[in-house]
Amino acid sequence: MVRTFLSAIGREVRGMHEAAYLLAAFALGSQLLALVRDRLLASTFGASHTLDMYYAAFRIPDFLFATIASLLSLYALLPVLSRLEHEHPGLMVSFLRRILLIFFVGMGVIAAVVAVFVPEISRAIAPGIVDPSFVPLIRILLLQPILLGASNILASFTQFRHRFLLYSISPLLYNLGIIFGIMVLYPRIGVAGLGWGVVLGALFHMLIQLPFFLSEEATPELPQKETYKELIAVLGLSIPRTLALAAGQISLLILVSMASIFAVGSISVFMFAYNLQAVPLTIIGVSYSVAAFPTLARLHASGKHKEFAQYIETALRHIFFWAIPATIFVIVLRAQLVRVILGGGAFDWAATRLTAAALALFILSLVAQSLSLLIARAYYAAGNTRKPLYYGTIDVGVSVISAFLLATLFHSSEFVRAFVESLLRVADVGGTTVLMLALGFALGSIMEFVVGYWFFIRDFKVPHERITALVFQSFSASVIGGAAAYCVLALSGATTGTHTVLAVIFQGFAAGVVGLVVLVITLALLGNHELAETFAAFHTRIRARSAVPVETTDITS
């Protein structure tokens, strides 16, 4: 039975659409667990000082992961692994084993040094958090980047073998560990239990991939001198990407630092809304970009530049196709989503409304964020890791500066504050300044995409005539579908009320179903090509018993 299970999760998946839908399905499962995690946190702590401290404690380990642990990222490793495997089967495995050892030693030393200076660092990153549990919690969480970084190295091998199912299971286990910490460890050992739950989840994230890696033959051994030579090559590719990741973490770090001096609960509201917008981002943007990356790397390495551009165009169209409707529907159904997912326990109605308003601002950048992920991976596949860094730097600059200016304007202008609060229906809720942080984040993401997309289309000569038509069709159909959903909300709200969770669930479900039906009908009437491709892809996957290499059809569709 164990062998059957391992064989099932280790199955290779090579088609972009099949891999994307598989990743999306498991991403949905992972995000559902993440929502369960957030609901447990919300109902247990509410938008409180304790939860502000918990989220602020992640900033140091997340920054370490982005700046150090991700130096040996799968996007930099994959091109090197492809070359080593081509030279001689087994070389890449021996190389990865030595890389893992070097990583554990180096990252362990860095984490230990940072642990010594946590008291000083914590005062700088979260000046508004004063609690004796804060420093110990951060020190526990410093184990997380070590384990996730090692898992990331293993993931390069997992993706190289096209084991997308195995790759998809890891985040599920990560969230299960966090949930275990909330439900089991916190009642026994307090706030430290939340940290140990995160560490346990990161350990699971790594261990699920380990058996498949250890079962591979590592012969012949790569000489030590060659190992360091290849390591330098990986770092040369990875450093710009790592700096790009660090730019994103710097943005979050500064925004959370600003939130720490706002009203109590501001960090919690900001992070809850951020996590909620990450659900469609993961399902759409991450799934397609991850699924496309191995094939893009192979096409570029083999000199098939025309197929490379066509493959990108296919991925771009499908991300637009899914992300635009998701944006409209989340904005329309934001209150129902937040109330059902987070509302209850210590998370009161005021916190629900404020989080829903922040979600509406975050989600404005869903399309931009999703496409930026694909753009970055296309550059990585082509061996160009510098341009995503430039675009990410633009994101940080615009996010931080606009958040600061917007927050200042929000405080100083009664008209601006009243307009924003009225538009988002939070005029009678306190702590609304945090909304400017969400808006600043969205503006930075949008600017990164606008600049990146312009250069991207030019650099790779990606055909975009069909993309332009798709954007018009998808946006038009989404607005019509969103309007239909809003009408259902208004009608059902007048008849069933909004005083019970069941009533809210019914409203959201009915509005969502009607809106989706109207969306699909409108797209069909417009003759949308991507809708037909999607139905055809699902039909093919249901009929097929095994994975089929469909790169050619994906490119020419």
pLDDT tens, position by position, 22-33: 666 666 777 788
Percent of the chain clearing pLDDT 90 (strictly above): 38
For residue 413, the tally of other CB atoms under 10 A from its CB is 12
Name which of 442, 407, 441, 439 is nearest 424 in CA terms. 439
- pLDDT confidence bin for 553, thresholds 50/70/90: very low
pLDDT score, position 513: 92
Identify whether the C-beta of residue 508 lies closer than 8 Å to the C-beta of residue 340: yes
Residue type, 305: H
pLDDT score, position 140: 96
Q: What's the average model confidence in pLDDT over 504-513?
A: 87
The most confident of 154-158, 210-214, 455-459, by mean pLDDT: 455-459
Q: What's the average model confidence in pLDDT over 425-447?
A: 93
- pLDDT confidence bin for 436, thresholds 50/70/90: very high
Residues forming a β-bridge with 344: 347
Residue 69 DSSP label = G
CA torsion sign, 175 to 438 to 401 to 409? negative
Classify burial at 115, counting beta carbons within 10 Å of its beta carbon; exposed 0-12, middle 13-18, buried 19 or more: middle
pLDDT score, position 74: 61
Residue 364 DSSP label = G
- pLDDT confidence bin for 464, thresholds 50/70/90: confident
Identify whether the C-beta of residue 406 lies closer than 8 Å to the C-beta of residue 400: no
Residue identified by tokens 């109902």 is 43
Count the helices and strands in the chain (H runs, E runs).
Answer: 26, 0
Question: 32-36, 242-246, 256-260: which has the minimum mean pLDDT?
Answer: 242-246
Q: What is the CA radius of gyration of the chain?
A: 23
Q: Under DSSP, is residue 284 helix (H, G, I), strand (E, B) or coil?
A: helix
Within 13 Å of residue 87, how many CA atoms lie on the same side as its CB? 14
- State yes or no: pLDDT of 14 exceeds 90: no
Identify whether the C-beta of residue 498 lies closer than 8 Å to the C-beta of residue 504: yes
Q: What phi and psi values does residue 344 have, to the nearest 5 degrees?
A: 130, 160
Q: How far apart are CA 96 and CA 161, in angstroms?
A: 14
- State yes or no: pLDDT of 500 exceeds 70: no
Q: What's the average model confidence in pLDDT over 322-343?
A: 91
Q: Which residues of 240-252 are buried (b: 16+ CB within 10 A; e: fewer)?
A: bbbbbbbbbbbbb
Residue type, 7: S
Question: 2-11, 110-119, 390-399: which has the minimum mean pLDDT?
Answer: 2-11
Classify burial at 57, counting beta carbons within 10 Å of its beta carbon; exposed 0-12, middle 13-18, buried 19 or more: buried
Residue 282 DSSP label = I
- State yes or no: pLDDT of 518 exceeds 90: yes
Q: How far apart are CA 315 and CA 291, in angstroms?
A: 9
Question: 146-160, 446-460, 537-551: which has the minimum mean pLDDT?
Answer: 537-551
Residues forming a β-bridge with 347: 344
- State yes or no: pLDDT of 109 exceeds 70: yes
Mean pLDDT of the chain: 83
Q: Return the higher-pLDDT residue of 490 and 383.
A: 490
Q: How far apart are CA 107 and CA 102, in angstroms?
A: 8
Question: Tokens for 272?
Answer: 């809850």
Q: What is the tens place of the pLDDT at every residue in 51-72?
A: 999 999 999 998 888 888 777 7
CB under 8 Å to 440, separation ≥6 — which residues?
A: 255, 398, 399, 400, 401, 402, 403, 404, 406, 407
- pLDDT confidence bin for 233, thresholds 50/70/90: confident
Name which of 365, 208, 201, 370 is nearest 290 in CA terms. 370
Q: How far apart are CA 557 and CA 548, in angstroms?
A: 16
- Give a three-class secondary structure readout of 12-25: CCCCHHHHHHHHHH
Name which of 481, 480, 491, 476 is nearest 514 in CA terms. 481
Q: Under DSSP, is residue 344 helix (H, G, I), strand (E, B) or coil?
A: strand
Q: How far apart are CA 456 and CA 449, in angstroms?
A: 10
pLDDT score, position 249: 82
Q: Return the higher-pLDDT residue of 270 and 170.
A: 270
CB under 8 Å to 194, separation ≥6 — which residues?
A: 54, 137, 178, 181, 182, 185, 186
- pLDDT confidence bin for 271, thresholds 50/70/90: very high
Name which of 449, 365, 430, 445 is nearest 400 in CA terms. 445
Q: Cite the DSSP H helix spans in 363-497.
A: 366-381, 386-412, 414-423, 434-460, 465-496
CA torsion sign, 127 to 132 to 133 to 137? positive
Q: What's the average model confidence in pLDDT over 171-183?
A: 92
- pLDDT confidence bin for 162, thresholds 50/70/90: low
Question: Tokens for 443?
Answer: 């503006």
pLDDT score, position 158: 75
Percent of the chain clearing pLDDT 70 (strictly above): 84
Question: 160-169, 297-306, 407-416: which has the minimum mean pLDDT?
Answer: 160-169
- State yes or no: pLDDT of 266 exceeds 70: yes
Q: How far apart are CA 245 and CA 248, in angstroms?
A: 5
Q: Under DSSP, is residue 347 helix (H, G, I), strand (E, B) or coil?
A: strand
End-to-end CA distance of the chain: 40
Q: What's the average model confidence in pLDDT over 366-373?
A: 94
Question: 213-217, 330-334, 373-377: which has the minimum mean pLDDT?
Answer: 213-217
pLDDT score, position 124: 86
- State yes or no: pLDDT of 8 exceeds 90: no
pLDDT score, position 212: 78
Q: How far apart are CA 70 and CA 526, in angstroms?
A: 44
pLDDT score, position 405: 96
- State yes or no: pLDDT of 214 exceeds 70: yes
pLDDT score, position 79: 67
pLDDT score, position 550: 31
pTM here is 0.80
Q: How far apart are CA 154 and CA 377, in angstroms?
A: 18
Q: How far apart are CA 543 and CA 11, in angstroms?
A: 17
Identify whether the C-beta of residue 22 lies closer than 8 Å to the C-beta of residue 165: yes
- State yes or no: pLDDT of 467 exceeds 60: yes
- State yes or no: pLDDT of 259 exceeds 60: yes
Q: What's the average model confidence in pLDDT over 255-263?
A: 91
Name which of 287, 312, 445 is nearest 381 in CA terms. 312
Question: Tokens for 527?
Answer: 């003759």
- State yes or no: pLDDT of 386 exceeds 90: no
